[in-house]
Amino acid sequence: MTERVVFTRRISKVVKGGRRLRFNALVVVGDSQGRVGAGLGKALVIPDAVRKGNAVARRNMVDIPLRGGTIPQQITVKKGATIVLIKPAREGTGVIAAGAMRAMLELGGVRDVVGKSLGSRNPINIVYATLEALRQLKDPQTELAKRGRLKPEVAAEPVTAEAV
């Protein structure tokens, strides 16, 4: 499992004796083979926050139904004021996404994809919206099997320029 710290911030709580400082760390973990997770850790020092975030991320893992090096279909998800749009791309395109979304897609093993975030650019919301989008992706073969129309040649066909 590979771990990447996407975002850290210092939080201060004002109390009678002054300010109490704490830290948040947003951590993304993945195996580069279709599993990725994200977690937010909070502690008095950054290393402890990262460790806690890593533990939360490992509990929040999702499986990505990869189709070649991309995702099977386009998906849009809204989380808070953040809207995340993820589209499949042809082989050789690479990961066209920024910041937190890019980290999630790369650690999940997606090699060719286009991602866009709209609305709020809060990294925490972007990560959780991306995680929800990846959770909602459906594998074409299992969906066809559920419907009783299994066609392996259709479900396994590569993404072409016309499909994108």
With beta carbons less than 8 A apart as the criterion, state whether 57 and 41 touch: no
With beta carbons less than 8 A apart as the criterion, state whether 110 and 130 touch: no
> Which domains are present in the chain?
2-59 (3.30.160.20), 64-155 (3.30.230.10)
The rounded radius of gyration (Å) of the Cα atoms in the chain is 18
Backbone region of residue 159 per phi and psi (left: phi > 0; alpha: psi in -120 to 50; beta: other values): beta
* Residue whose pair of structure tokens reads 């704490």 in the numeric block: 22
- Could you tell me the pTM of the whole model? 0.85
pLDDT by residue, tens only, the chain of 164 residues: 899 999 999 999 999 999 999 999 999 999 999 999 999 999 999 999 999 999 999 999 999 999 888 999 999 999 999 999 999 999 999 999 988 999 999 999 999 999 999 999 999 999 999 999 999 998 888 878 888 876 655 545 566 666 55
